[in-house]
Structures are given as structure tokens and as C-alpha cells.
A and B are shown apart, each in its own frame.
Chain A
Amino acid sequence: MPEVVSNGAPRTFLDQVVAATPSKCHLEMCIQCGTCGGSCPSGPDMDHTPRTLFAMIRAGMPDQVLRSNTPWYCVSCYYCMVRCPQDVHITDVMYTLKRMSVKLKKYDEAIAANFSKTFIFWVENFGRSFELGLMSQHMLRHNPFGVFRIADMGVGMVTKGRISFTPKRIKGIDGLRAILAKAKEIEAEDDARILGGAE
């Protein structure tokens, strides 16, 4: 259990990360064995391996941790998680670090965060993902010339009927939006408590 001070706020950075992760992530159980980094398919592109990052969390280095590109290069393959001898929910911790770095505006990896934002835009407004809108919006913003490099794929997808030009909206979009708005309100209350001590 995370240590808490009298006002209910987690005391250390480690406690904050644990408290901001749904269910039990067992991060405090990490024995620094390095199995996670050794299993990671995108490890070579990361500033820090997951093991290093967890040591930094424990050492109370929120600024360096939240500026690391590591969480943004996590591909969510869960290799580290199934191999971790301590059952640390590493993938979940990576998601927590992404959320914290965006909320505290520490992230430098804008591409990944913006991709998530664009994706969410379609979900929040239509209830479903819309591939063409997502990819074109994202590429225009970050990689306008990349369009030419995958042009053949795009043409193939269109001629073979694998791309739709119109997004589909679910019937219950109003209900969904009300649900998401309420959820965000609850999350903001929680964050005020969890992250309250930070800065």
C-alpha cells in the first residue's frame, strides 16, 4: 500500500505512480533484475530501460522520469510483464507515466501524445475509431512527406475497399460523451489528490 500523509496524498513519487495505476501494479516489489529491459522489443530506442526508470522512480526523480522517452516507446506487447518475476504490471506503469507526463506537461515526445489525442478525438466524437481521419490528421501534423512514402499502400487500401471515407457515429454518442465527461471529472478529483503534492 502506498504510504499516505494525513491529507490523503501519497508522499513519494513512487507512491504517486502506484496510486495513479489502476488495480495493483506491484511496482514497489521491483528487484532490479533487468528482465524487463532485456525483453523489450523497442529497448534500443529508449532513453532508459524500464529497470533504470523504476530505479529513478524510487530515487525520487520525477522530472527526469517524466521527461524520458521510455513510456512513449513502449509498444504494449506485455513481454516484460509476463516475464517479471515480481509480477510488476510494467505496461500499466508505462501508461501511468505517459498520463502523468502529459498532465504535468513534462513530455518531450509530442508525436506519440498527439497521436493518442487525435485517436481520442474520433472516439469522443463518433464513438468509434476512424482510420483515414486519424492517419491523415496525424501525418499532416507530424510527417507530411511521409504520405508519399506510403502512398502505394494508401492507394491499395482505397481500391481494395479497406478505407472508408466517412466516419461512423454510434447511436448513443450523447450517452457516451456524458459517461466520458463524468469519468474525466472523477479522474480530475483523484489526480488532485494523487498529484497534489507534485509541484
Chain B
Amino acid sequence: MRYSVFPGCSLEKGAIGYPYWQSIEAILPHLGIELVEVDDWNCCGATEYIALNRMAAYALVARTLALAAKTDGLREMVAPCSACYLNLSKADTYLTQDSVLAEKVNRALAAGGLHYHPGSVKTRHLLDVIVNDVGYKAIAQKVTKPLTGLRIAPYYGCLIGRPAFYGQIDDPEYPVTLDKLLRVLGAEVVDYPVKAHCCGGHMTQISEATAFDLIRRLIKSAADTQADLIVTVCPMCQMNLDGFQNAMNRYFKTDYRIPVLYFTQMIGLAFGESARALGIGAEIVDARPALSRIGVEVPPVEEARPARRARRPKEALPMPVMPEEEEEVEL
């Protein structure tokens, strides 16, 4: 199975979701999937571009789609990030439905020497490809180290099931594909009523009260079901639930410690890959106690220490240094 792939900014080396990418690369050979990266792809615009510019937001996505259409003649593109998946599938759908919009977007693309014929590349979420193209049966046959004894809260987030521009791959409010996949891997899947609720998206940067409330619901519900960990399908969800869990704890004076891993990391563990190869150990809330229950050893991550500043010579008097003025950028 060959697809083109749009990794998205969050999955690049040195980005918050890089462990997700590492685990994807580790399991692809087992699954018989080959991914060809779209050359020179650009950001999907997240939820930000469309908030300020309508046409530029669609042109931004269309540039990537136009480049994807030129990738080895592949008609299907995989997006591991739910937000990228949404933006790419949404833009393609609207461009197909609205010929006036398509004409205008193509006029913009022409300025960069590109053209996109709406509908020529279909974007699919990685979870969709794994469960529907590879299939549960084929995955079950590859499981060598079942996750027996691990209680997992399956977290889908919003955008994988909503609003489903290309048709439903799962229920928009109570999806089950990830539940089934985790059961195939041998894990015990808890009933997680908030599995398709919002993680807060960009609200951590805009209104902490809003974001932390949403994060708390998800973490508390998982804790209430005595889940060992939460498994997610999106780098944004992972970042909010894992990275902001401590800040949320301080905000509500709680003490939750639920690690959040990617579904691809769980697949890799069940296939016998090492924790290190799967990027496990880079999460903020330590997953080691949970994983030790199934006998997975997580080696300590080699800490990349930030380069130390050269020490000033002791003899010289310290000179007052003004912080460099930030250049005001006209936006």
C-alpha cells in the first residue's frame, strides 16, 4: 500500500509531535505501508489562517494539494494530524462544491506556477488507513507482545469524526474504531464517555480557564475509569492533555498523572518494537509506571542539554546588557 504523506508542522523533527512521527516510521514496515512525503509541503493553516483570511487560507491548503497531486501519481494522501486532516479534506470538498471559489483559488495558485484540480487528491487520517486498509485481522496476526493488563482510555478528539467532509469513517459522537484496534492489540479498553470531546485546541494560548476546564474533563474521566493511560490520534490533543496536564493540576489544585501516548506507539509496542524506537519517553507525564505493568522498559531519554553560554572572564566587570528590542512586525 502506497500513499503520499503530509506530516504537518507538529510532526517535524524538533516539534511537539515528533514522537508520533518516530512511531509511525517504526510501524510502517510491519503494516506493509509505504509513505512518500509530499515535496515542500506547507502548513495547513490550522485554525488560525481562516480566522483572518478566507481566500489565502484556501490557497495555502490548495498549494499543498497541488504538490500532492504531483507526488508519484498517488491519489490518496495520509495526514497523521487530525487538524491537518480536517483542513485538507475541508478545502478539497469546498473547492469541489464551489466552482467560483475553485476558480479564484486557482488564480492565486497561478501566481506561484501551480494549479489544483479539485478532487484529485483525497486526504485520509492515518487511523482510517490503518484500520480500514490494513485491517484488524492483519494487525492481529502481527501482535507478538499483546498489551494484556493495560487499561486504556481511547481518545479520538474532535476532528477525526467531525464533520466528516469525505463521509463518515466513524460515529461523530461515539466513535469505536480506536477501541477495536486497541482490543486487537490485547489492551483492556475502558468505556470513555468523553472520547470525542474537545481538548481545547488553541485555547491554552487564549483563555486558560476555558482550556483547562476542557482538559480537566478528559483527564478526570480517564482517572475515574481507572485507566492507566490515554491513547490519542492527534498531536494537538497529545500536547494539550500531556503538556498542559501539570498546569491544569495547579489551576484546579488536583494531582492527576495520566500519561498520554499515540495509538501508533501502542501498535509498535504490541508488535515488539522497543520503547525508544517508538519515541516513548518524550512525554511530559511519565508513562513508565503504566508501561511497567506490561513489562515494557523505557530507557531514560538522553537529555539534550541546552548549550551553555560561554562564561564571561572573571576579571572583567560585568557590562550592563540591554535586551534586544523586539522588532515590531507589521502584520
Contact surface of A with B, Cβ cutoff 8 Å = 20, 22-24, 41-42, 45, 72-73, 75-79, 81-82, 91, 95-96, 98-99, 102, 111-113, 115-123, 127-131, 135, 138-140, 146, 149-150, 152-153, 156-165, 168, 170-172, 175-176, 178-184, 186-187, 190
Contacts and interface: CB of A to CB of B under 8 A. Distances in A.
A164 B15 contact: yes
Nearest to B49: A120
Q: Which of B18, B202, B250, B306 has the most CB of A within 10 A?
A: B202
Interface stretch (B27-35, B38-46, B123-131, B267-275): B38-46
Given A22-B94, A140-B326, A112 B206 contact: yes
Interface of B: 9-10, 12-19, 40-43, 45-56, 58-60, 63, 93-94, 97-98, 101, 104-105, 107-114, 158-159, 162-164, 172-173, 197-198, 200-203, 205-210, 214, 243-244, 246-247, 250, 281-284, 301, 303-306, 326, 329, 331
A45 B331 contact: no
Contacts of A160: 281-284, 301, 303-304
Contacts of B247: 149-150, 153
Nearest to B103: A186
Given A171-B40, A179-B112, A41 B198 contact: yes
A29 B305 CA distance: 57
Contact of B97 (A23, A115, A172, A190): A23
A135 B284 CA distance: 18
Contact of B53 (A122, A135, A163, A183): A183
A73 B48 CA distance: 13
A181 B63 CA distance: 13
What 4 A-B pairs come out closest when comparing CB atoms?
A164-B14, A175-B112, A183-B108, A187-B55
A123 B45 contact: yes
Provide the main secondary structure of the chain B interface.
loop
B151 to A, nearest CB: 25
A182 B303 CA distance: 45
Contacts of A45: 207, 209-210
Contacts of B9: 128-131
B282 A162 contact: yes
Contacts of A130: 9
Contact of B331 (A121, A152, A182): A121
A47 to B, nearest CB: 13
Given A180-B59, A186-B107, A128 B12 contact: yes
Contacts of A161: 14, 18, 282, 301, 304
Given A23-B94, A79-B158, 20 more contacts: A24-B97, A75-B214, A95-B50, A99-B50, A116-B49, A129-B9, A135-B205, A153-B244, A153-B246, A157-B16, A160-B282, A160-B301, A168-B12, A175-B113, A180-B56, A180-B60, A182-B108, A183-B59, A183-B108, A184-B56
Given A120-B48, A120-B331, A159 B210 contact: no
A129 B9 CA distance: 6
Contacts of A22: 54, 58, 94, 98, 101
Most chain A CB neighbours (cut-off 10 Å) among B46, B56, B113:
B56
B111 A115 contact: no
Given A128-B42, A131-B16, A159-B303, A186 B282 contact: no
B284 A153 contact: yes
Contacts of A176: 42, 60, 63, 112
Nearest to B281: A160
Contacts of B329: 121
Contacts of B105: 183
Contact of B162 (A77, A99, A186, A187): A77
A116 B207 CA distance: 14
B277 to A, nearest CB: 15
A150 B202 CA distance: 15
A164 B49 contact: no
Nearest to A154: B243
B105 to A, nearest CB: 7
A59 B59 CA distance: 33
Contacts of B202: 75, 115
Contacts of A81: 162-163
Contacts of A111: 206-207
Contacts of B208: 146
